[in-house]
Copies of this chain bind each other. A is one copy, B any other.
Amino acid sequence: MTEALINHISRYISLPEHDAGAISGYFTPLSFRKKENLMAAGQVCRNHYFVVKGCLRLFFIDEKGSEQTIQFALENWWLADYTSFSNQKTSAFYIQAVENSAVLAIDVHKQEQLLAQFPALERYFRIIHQRAHAAAQYRQQYTHDMTREEMYLHFAQSYPDFVQRVPQYLLASFLGFTPEYLSEIRSRNRT
């Protein structure tokens, strides 16, 4: 199961073959059923998750009691509440499986040990976080500049598999509109 992770790391840094086993040993393989919580608000985000199969999401429950999704993670994506994970303080977020999912988990102490033993992985995680930081900069522009319909079309074009896989009510919540409005947009743009 760690093969997916080793392959992903190898896309960004060159990894001597004999390191793969030792790196894999730091991770715990876990399985979650669809809609199962990996973490709930009020808990500390104990683990950093790498998705081997399935899909996770990070969300919070707003003042009206609605779930607001702010990040998804498909295969080969990482997910954590990074504030809570780094400081081991309480999180305001939930992490939940969108589909039945197989993940690799590593806690913050083991991650520090891993990085101490294999400092080359700092580069791998630097690239992962730099990309997420870059995406957050442009997301702010899209949110401001695009109509909701444009947001959906941009998203559907950039991540076609994702739009097919994720349940419509979650996609709608992520893009900030109602499921009814999403289904209107979809039928308008179907050719």
Contacts and interface: CB of A to CB of B under 8 A. Distances in A.
B137 A126 contact: no
- Report, as a range, how many residues of chain A touch the other chain: 35 or more
A17 interface: no
A177 to B, nearest CB: 13
Interface string A159-185: 000000000000000000000000000
Nearest to A119: B119
A79 B119 CA distance: 25
Chain A interface helix/strand/loop/mixed: helix
A144 interface: yes
A60 to B, nearest CB: 5
Interface of A: 58, 60, 62-63, 68, 70-71, 81-83, 86, 92-93, 115, 119-120, 122-123, 125-126, 129-141, 144-145
